[in-house]
Amino acid sequence: MAEFLETAVGFPTLLFTSALVVVIAFWLLVLLGAADSDTFDSDVDTDALHLGGVPVAVSVSLLIALGWFCSLTGSVVLARTGVSGVAFHLLGAVLLFASLFVAWRVTRLLVGPLAKLFPDEPGPSRQDFLGLTCTIRTGRVDAEFGQAEVVARDGSTAVVQVRQTGTDVLALGSTGLLYAYDDAGEFFWVAPFDTALDPRG
C-alpha cells in the first residue's frame, strides 16, 4: 500500500493523479446533478484528437484514467529497477509521454463502441415551436413589438419575440398561437387563440 501511494504521488504519475482527482470530482458533481456530462462539448474539439462520438467528459475521463494506470504501472516497474538520479527523471519523462500515447490509442479504440451509446440528437429548433400556444408576456403585441412564453414539447419554456397583424387584441396573459416564423426578423407571427378550442384541454 505504501508503495502504491508513493508511486501515485511521485513523478510522473502525480500529473495523472491530480487530473484523476479532478475527473472524479466532476463525475461526483454529475451524480449530484450539479453538472452535466456534456458540459464541455461546445468548448473542446475531440474530433481533432480522433476521440469524437462521445461526450468530451467521457473521452477525457477515459484518457486520464488509462494514462494514470499506465504511468502507475510503469513507475512501479521503473522504481524496482533501482535506477535513480538524472536517469530516473529522464526515464520518468519518457514514461509520461509513453503513458499519454498508449492511453490515447486505447481511448480511440474504446470510443468507437461507446459512441453507439450516445447517438447524435438534433438540437432544438425554432421551428419546433410552430403550432404551439403561448402566453403573452407584454402589455401589447403588434407588428413592431411583443414577447410571449412558450412551453416546448419536452416541457422546457422559452420567451420568444412575437408579432401580429390586424386589429385583434393580444394583451398581457392572453393566449396566442404561433403559426409562422420570420427568419429575417427572428420573431414568430402569433394569432389570438381560444383555449376552449384546444384539443389538449
- Percent of the chain whose pLDDT exceeds 90: 35
Least confident of 40-54, 62-76, 179-193: 40-54
Residues 6+ apart with CB under 8 A from 191: 164, 168, 176, 177, 179
- The pLDDT tens digits for 89-117 are 899 899 999 999 999 999 988 887 877 77
Instruction: Phi first, then psi: give them for residue 93, nearest 5 degrees.
Output: -65, -40
H helix count then E strand count, the chain: 4, 5
pLDDT band with cut points at 50, 70 and 90 for residue 201: very low
- The pLDDT tens digits for 126-177 are 788 898 999 999 998 998 999 999 988 778 888 999 999 877 778 899 999 9
Domains and CATH numbers, the chain: 2-115 (no CATH), 126-197 (2.40.50.140)
**CA distance readout (Å), 144 to 98, 132, 161, 176, 184:** 63, 21, 10, 16, 14
